[in-house]
Amino acid sequence: MEKLYKTIDSICPPDAEVFNAALKRLAEQARPAGSLGVLEGLSARLAGIAKTLDVKLNNKVIVICAGDHGVVAEGVSLFPQEVTAQMVYNFVNGGASINVLARHAGARVKVADLGVNHDFQQDLPIFHKKVRKSTSNMAIGPAMSREEAVQSVVAGIEIVEELLGKGPVDILGTGDMGIGNTTPSSAVIAAISAIEVEKLTGRGTGIDDQALSNKIKVIERALAVNRPDPDDALDVLTKVGGFEIGGLAGLVLGAAAHFIPVVCDGLISTAGAMIACQLAPAAKAYLFASHRSVETGHRYMHEHLGLDPLIDIKFRLGEGTGAALAMELLDAATRILADIRTFDEVAIVNAQLQ
């Protein structure tokens, strides 16, 4: 707990002076005011975080937190649990969707085992942070102990510190892997928001109507059995969360504590971000929502966090794929701030000033 609270206490707001200087420069650029839309606000936010008007996102990293879930025993997923470990190997070997999109964005992909139901060799180049093999079945009791919840969050913080120990990280993307993990993620937003489970629950890997009805009932039963406290993020994580969700929360906290912007991916990554921002509201200033997932609960997560996604292209994969695409937009945002000249710099008369 000491490391968790020390990290939370160390999160400071971005630099307001640089942020305001960025807004001033954007307003003075030789183009119609507001003509680059959302990119303008993004560029100012990134400037405040990096404390410079010339932000360089040269060192991009996407971390995929992986874990298994006891609730798959309730028939909530189309795929067997063994796929989680198989996909970890695929990520390491560079053959997954996220590897392709990350390469295009110039980002490195790293994988963290938080709770995969598999014994990975210690020489496999991943972050070995296993809390234990799979959560318990949240439909019949807590997914984990409170101590395990804290351990999973601290693991995410440690991952950020270990990355920084090997070199700079200019921006961090969060991704996930875990068969069945849309179920605990939907339970997290339901527990915190008190919105009806039916409105928050999607088809995950592509389950049919009957399986979707079962999934809704499973989440409702988990909430009724465990009664998570919506005002206690660690209790929500303990009762209906996942080890990888805790790890994702820790990534957000660790990055914010080191002035690193975080690009959050889909439903599961945003569940982790919700836990992080409830633990440390100051962390939200470092958070960027990459995309709007097809999963119905994702919109409610964004509304709860007060974040607008950068893109909406009907993704529902996870892995950090949306974060990889959004990094390219954020790269562009840094360049419009630093490289577009002002009216004074190009000696153009600003019609708005006449």
DSSP state of 71: G
pLDDT at 352 over 80: no
Q: Are residues 318 and 347 in the same domain?
A: no
Range of the domain at 199: 60-331
148: tokens are 């395990």
319 flagged as catalytic: yes
Q: Is pLDDT of 228 > 60?
A: yes
Both 203 and 265 in a single domain? yes
pTM, entire model? 0.96
pLDDT for the residue numbered 204: 86
For residues 201 and 212, the answer to whether their CB atoms sit within 8 Å is yes
Whole-number mean pLDDT of the chain?
96
Q: What is the DSSP letter of 311?
A: B
H helix or E strand, kind and range, residue 260: none
Q: Do residue 51 and residue 69 come from a single domain? A: no
Residues 191 and 228 sit within 8 Å (Cβ to Cβ) = yes
Q: Residue 343 sits in a domain of what CATH number? A: 1.10.1610.10
Residue 346 pLDDT level (bands cut at 50, 70, 90)? confident
pLDDT digits (tens, 9 = 90+) for 117-161: 999 999 999 999 999 999 999 999 999 999 999 999 999 999 999
Q: What is the pLDDT of residue 339?
A: 97
Number of domains present in the structure of the chain: 2
Same domain, 113 and 41: no
146: domain CATH number is: 3.40.50.10210
Q: State the pLDDT at residue 353.
A: 47
Give the integer Cα–Cα distance in Å for 237 and 6: 20
Residue 332: the pLDDT is 97
pLDDT of residue 90: 98
Structure confidence at residue 347 (pLDDT): 80
Residue found by looking up tokens 């968790």 in the block:
4
Question: Residue 35: what are its φ and ψ, rounded to 5°?
Answer: -70, -15
Residues 119 and 19 in one domain: no
What is residue 94's predicted lDDT score, i.e. its pLDDT?
A: 98
Sign of CA dihedral 84, 89, 92, 96: negative
Contact residues for 263 (Cβ-Cβ < 8 A; gap 6+):
171, 172, 173, 174, 288, 290, 323, 326, 327, 330
pLDDT in tens, 41-58: 999 999 999 999 999 999
Q: Are residues 92 and 143 in the same domain?
A: yes
- Residues 171, 308: one domain? yes
- Whether residue 49 sits in one domain with residue 116: no
pLDDT tens figures, 281-324 = 999 999 999 999 999 999 999 999 999 999 999 999 999 999 99
Q: Which residue has the tokens 């794929």?
A: 321
Which whole number is the average pLDDT over 196-217?
92
Residue 196 and residue 119 in one domain: yes
Q: What is residue 201's predicted lDDT score, i.e. its pLDDT? A: 94
Residues 94 and 38 in one domain: no
**Catalytic option among 40, 244, 319, 328:** 319
Is the pLDDT at 354 greater than 50, yes or no?
no
pLDDT at 120: 98
Does residue 64 sit in the same domain as residue 50?
Answer: no
- In this structure, the answer to whether residues 135 and 239 fall within a common structural domain is yes
Q: What is the mean pLDDT of residues 70-83?
A: 94
